[in-house]
Amino acid sequence: MTIAYADCAAMDSHDTLAHARGRFFLPDNVIYLDGNSLGALPRGALPHLVHVVDREWGDDLIRSWNKNDWIGMPARLGARLAPLIGAAPDEVIVADSTSVNLFKLAAAAVRFRSPRRVILTEHSNFPTDLYVLQGLEEMLDGAVTLHMVAREELEKSLNDDVALLALTHGDFRTGEIHDMRRLTEAAHAAGALALWDLSHSAGAMDILLDGDDVDLAIGCGYKYLNGGPGAPAFMFVARRHQAALRQPLSGWMGHAAPFDFADRYDPAGGMARMLCGTPPVLSMAALEEGLKTFDGIDMARVRQKSVALGELFLNLAETSCADSGFVIASPRDSHRRGSQISLRHPEGYAIMQALIEQGVIGDFRAPDILRFGFAPLYTRYVDVWNAVERLASVMAGEVWRQVRFHARAMVT
Amino acid sequence: MTIAYADCAAMDSHDTLAHARGRFFLPDNVIYLDGNSLGALPRGALPHLVHVVDREWGDDLIRSWNKNDWIGMPARLGARLAPLIGAAPDEVIVADSTSVNLFKLAAAAVRFRSPRRVILTEHSNFPTDLYVLQGLEEMLDGAVTLHMVAREELEKSLNDDVALLALTHGDFRTGEIHDMRRLTEAAHAAGALALWDLSHSAGAMDILLDGDDVDLAIGCGYKYLNGGPGAPAFMFVARRHQAALRQPLSGWMGHAAPFDFADRYDPAGGMARMLCGTPPVLSMAALEEGLKTFDGIDMARVRQKSVALGELFLNLAETSCADSGFVIASPRDSHRRGSQISLRHPEGYAIMQALIEQGVIGDFRAPDILRFGFAPLYTRYVDVWNAVERLASVMAGEVWRQVRFHARAMVT
pLDDT tens per residue, range A45-93: 999 999 999 999 999 999 999 999 999 999 999 999 999 999 999 999 9
Tell me which of B28, B57, B129, B274 to substitute to probe the interface with A (most A C-beta atoms closer than 10 Å). B57
Q: State the virtual CA torsion across B248, B252, B255, B259 in degrees, nearest 10.
A: 170
**DSSP tag of B311:** H
Strands (E), A176-311: 193-197, 216-219, 233-237
Q: Where in chain A is the domain with CATH 3.40.640.10?
A: 47-292
Surface of B (103-122) touching A: CB under 8 A? 103, 107, 111
Catalytic residues of A: 126, 197, 222-223, 371
pLDDT in tens, chain B (412 residues): 589 999 999 999 999 999 999 999 999 999 999 999 999 999 999 999 999 999 999 999 999 999 999 999 999 999 999 999 999 999 999 999 999 999 999 999 999 999 999 999 999 999 999 999 999 999 999 899 999 999 999 999 999 999 999 999 999 999 999 999 999 999 999 999 999 999 999 999 999 999 999 999 999 999 999 999 999 999 999 999 999 999 999 999 999 999 998 999 999 999 999 999 999 999 999 999 999 999 999 999 999 999 999 999 999 999 999 889 999 999 999 999 999 999 999 999 999 999 999 999 999 998 999 999 999 999 999 999 999 999 999 999 876 666 544 444 444 4
Q: Residue B306 in contact with residue B320, Cβ under 8 Å?
A: no
Give start and end residues of each alpha helix (H) in B297-408.
Answer: 299-320, 348-357, 381-396, 399-402
In this structure, are strands A327-328 and A340-344 parallel, antiparallel, or unpaired? antiparallel
Quick one: average pLDDT of A156-174? Answer: 98
The answer to whether residue B136 neighbours chain A at the CB level (below 8 Å) is yes
The answer to whether residue A409 neighbours chain B at the CB level (below 8 Å) is yes
Q: Which of A32, A54, A131 sits opposite B61 (nearest CB)?
A: A32
Q: Residue A167 in contact with residue A122, Cβ under 8 Å?
A: yes
Average pLDDT, chain A: 95
Q: Residue A377 in contact with residue A21, Cβ under 8 Å?
A: yes
Give start and end residues of each alpha helix (H) in A15-145.
Answer: 45-51, 64-67, 73-81, 98-112, 127-140
pLDDT of residue A403: 57
Dist CA A404 CA A231 (whole Å): 33
Dist CA B42 CA B297 (whole Å): 15
Q: Do B361 and A63 touch (CB under 8 A)?
A: yes
Q: Which residues of B328-359 are buried (b: 16+ CB within 10 A; e: fewer)?
A: ebbbeeeeebbbbbbbbbebbbbbbbbbbebe
Q: Do A280 and B280 touch (CB under 8 A)?
A: yes
Q: Which of A222, A282, A284 sits opposite B286 (nearest CB)?
A: A282
Angle formed by the axes of helices B299-320 and B381-396, nearest 10°: 20
Q: Do B410 and A65 touch (CB under 8 A)?
A: yes
pLDDT of residue B409: 45
Cα nearest neighbour of A33 on chain B: B62
Q: Provide the shortest C-alpha distance from residue A66 to chain B (in Å).
A: 7
Cα nearest neighbour of A69 on chain B: B410
On chain A, the residues whose CB falls within 8 A of the CB of B280 are 97, 229-232, 280, 283
Q: Provide the shortest C-alpha distance from residue A83 to chain B (in Å).
A: 24
The answer to whether residue B208 neighbours chain A at the CB level (below 8 Å) is no
Provide the whole-model pTM: 0.96
The answer to whether residue A27 neighbours chain B at the CB level (below 8 Å) is yes
Dist CA A228 CA A289 (whole Å): 9
Measured between alpha carbons, how far is residue B6 from residues A391, B28, B31, B327, B389 in Å?
Answer: 73, 21, 17, 28, 14
pLDDT of residue A401: 66
Q: Where in chain A is the domain with CATH 3.90.1150.10?
A: 5-32+298-402
The residue among A115, A279, A98, A283 whose CA lies nearest residue A195 is A98
Q: Do B409 and A222 touch (CB under 8 A)?
A: no
CATH T-level topology, domain B47-292: Aspartate Aminotransferase; domain 2 (3.40.640)
Q: Residue B74 in contact with residue B275, Cβ under 8 Å?
A: yes
Quick one: average pLDDT of A172-198? Answer: 98
On chain A, the residues whose CB falls within 8 A of the CB of B138 are 246, 248, 250
How many CA atoms, within 13 angstroms, populate the side-chain half-sphere of residue B107? 29
On chain A, the residues whose CB falls within 8 A of the CB of B40 are 58, 61
Contacts of B63 (CB under 8 A, 6+ apart): A356, A361, A410
Residues linked to residue A283 through DSSP beta bridges, in sequence order? none
The counts of H helices and E strands in chain B are 13, 15
pLDDT of residue A405: 45
The answer to whether residue A72 neighbours chain B at the CB level (below 8 Å) is no
CATH T-level topology, domain A5-32+298-402: Aspartate Aminotransferase, domain 1 (3.90.1150)
Could you tell me how many CB contacts below 8 A there are between chain A and chain B? 311
Cα nearest neighbour of B232 on chain A: A280
Q: Do A277 and B58 touch (CB under 8 A)?
A: no
pLDDT of residue B402: 63
Tell me which of B38, B284, B368 to substitute to probe the interface with A (most A C-beta atoms closer than 10 Å). B38
Residues linked to residue B386 through DSSP beta bridges, in sequence order? none
The answer to whether residue B342 neighbours chain A at the CB level (below 8 Å) is no
The answer to whether residue A49 neighbours chain B at the CB level (below 8 Å) is yes
The rounded Cα B168 to chain-centroid distance in angstroms is 9
Q: Which of B34, B172, B258 sits opposite A62 (nearest CB)?
A: B34
The residue among B411, B221, B261, B393 whose CA lies nearest residue B320 is B393
Q: Do A228 and B53 touch (CB under 8 A)?
A: yes
Query: A410 pLDDT exceeds 80?
Result: no
Query: A406 pLDDT exceeds 60?
Result: no
Query: A409 pLDDT exceeds 50?
Result: no
What are the tens digits of pLDDT across the range A211-262? 999 999 999 999 999 999 999 999 999 999 999 999 999 999 999 999 998 9
pLDDT of residue B410: 47
For A267-271, the CB contacts below 8 A with 24+ separation are A269/A242, A269/A243, A270/A90, A270/A242, A271/A75, A271/A78, A271/A90, A271/A91, A271/A92, A271/A93, A271/A235, A271/A237, A271/A242
The answer to whether residue B137 neighbours chain A at the CB level (below 8 Å) is no
In this structure, are strands A233-237 and A216-219 parallel, antiparallel, or unpaired? antiparallel
ipTM beyond cut 0.90: yes
Q: Prior bond to A232 cis, omega within 30?
A: no
Dist CA B13 CA B369 (whole Å): 32
The answer to whether residue B267 neighbours chain A at the CB level (below 8 Å) is no
Cα nearest neighbour of A286 on chain B: B282
In chain A, the largest separation of any two C-alpha atoms, in whole Å, equals: 70
The answer to whether residue A132 neighbours chain B at the CB level (below 8 Å) is yes
Q: Do A130 and B263 touch (CB under 8 A)?
A: yes
pLDDT of residue B2: 82
Amino acid at A142: G
